[in-house]
Structure 1
Amino acid sequence: MIKFSKPDRKVIKVFLHCSDSDIPEHDNIETITRWHVDENGWTYIGYQYVITQDGVVHKGRSLEIQPAAQYPFNRDTIAICLTGRYEFSEAQYDSLRELCSQIAEAYEYEITFHGHNEIDISRTCPVFPYRNVLGLDKHGYITKAKPVINKEPKSGNIISRFFSFFGDLF
């Protein structure tokens, strides 16, 4: 498991993504990097971390550089991607919980975790039940209690997503 170290730059939110592919040949960081570099024209992979089906956490873009994963909300964030579209493994969930627990602890539990779909309603990403996997409260904070795995209810409408994400500004 990777040991998380806080970057020198400001970080206030973590965004969760999925690779949108269950094809076994896509279950690697090299393929995602190729998609981002060759197809999107980016300098490097957009995510700081990619978690493959075997639960291995791969380092992507440097934590010192903002991600290229949820434009225009990349600033002050970290981006984590799980490979898969509809099929995710317990090993991935275990690694995601461990990584996000390290991040939350490093920021004294004053950092929030969100799905890409919370800021872009045209996205279904991530399609796994991230709120339940991480044990998030309604604002996106990880509770210190152990999270429970179960089916996540469908996300709310655009207004509830807006206030869930931007509520602390009002």
Structure 2
Amino acid sequence: MSITRIVIHCSDSPNFRDDTAEDIHRWHKERGWDGIGYHHVICVDGDVQNGRPHYWTGAHASPYNANSIGICLIGRDQFTDAQWRSLEGLVLSLTNEYPYAEVLGHCDLNEHKSCPNFDVKSWWGNIERNNLD
């Protein structure tokens, strides 16, 4: 599988609620899906939990699933400092693994979505600039 996108999402659950990858797996199963659609989930305490393995096509940003990795931040539009630190570390690691992958938000692929409710391209641009210094 050739990964060309790393897509950031939010769970759209109440901010700061202690949801987990297991909770999202259950929600997605309840909708009749195969299970969690994301590859990684970042909990409010910053814990990075695994969802689908990278070799399993995600179910998070149709029609871009076959060539993307999905990351889900728990919350709607407010994230903890621990989540921001974990997101930065995870995306840095993934871009080392998939150096040609574009980092973007779900809303950048679907104009009807606001998820993850922040400008991922600007956020990532700042991270990249800071890592060049």
Question: What TM-score do the two structures reach when normalised by structure 1?
Answer: 0.70
Task: Work out whether residues 47 and 60 of structure 1, in 8 Å CA contact, stay in contact via their aligned partners in 2.
Answer: yes
Which of 91, 98, 101 is the aligned partner of 1:111? 101
1:120 pairs with 2:110: yes
Structure that is richer in helix per residue:
2
Task: Work out whether residues 93 and 133 of structure 1, in 8 Å CA contact, stay in contact via their aligned partners in 2.
Answer: no
The aligned counterpart of 2:28 is 36
**1:142-157 paired onto structure 2 within 5 Å:** 143=128, 145-146=129-130
Task: Work out whether residues 97 and 133 of structure 1, in 8 Å CA contact, stay in contact via their aligned partners in 2.
Answer: no
The aligned counterpart of 1:77 is 68
Task: Work out whether residues 86 and 127 of structure 1, in 8 Å CA contact, stay in contact via their aligned partners in 2.
Answer: yes
Matched positions, count: 131
Q: Structure 1 vs Structure 2: percent identity of aligned residues? A: 35
Specify the SS of the correspondent of 2:54. Answer: coil
Specify the SS of the correspondent of 2:8. Answer: strand
For 2:18 and 2:33, locate their aligned partners in 1 and report how far apart those are by CA, in whole Å: 19
For 1:81 and 1:119, locate their aligned partners in 2 and report how far apart those are by CA, in whole Å: 15
**1:31-70 paired onto structure 2 within 5 Å:** 31-39=23-31, 41-70=32-61
Shift in Å, 1:25:
4.7
Which of 14, 17, 20 is the aligned partner of 2:9? 17
For 1:114 and 1:35, locate their aligned partners in 2 and report how far apart those are by CA, in whole Å: 24
1:90 pairs with 2:81: yes
Structure of greater relative contact order (alpha carbons < 8 Å, 6+ residues apart): 2
* Root mean square deviation, CA, Å: 1.8
Question: What TM-score do the two structures reach when normalised by structure 2?
Answer: 0.88
Structure 1 stretches lacking a partner, 5+ long: 1-8, 137-141, 148-170
Q: Deviations over 1:27-57 (max 9, x none)?
A: 2112211111112x11110000000111010
Answer with 1 or 2: which has the greater Rg: 1
Structure 2 stretches lacking a partner, 5+ long: none
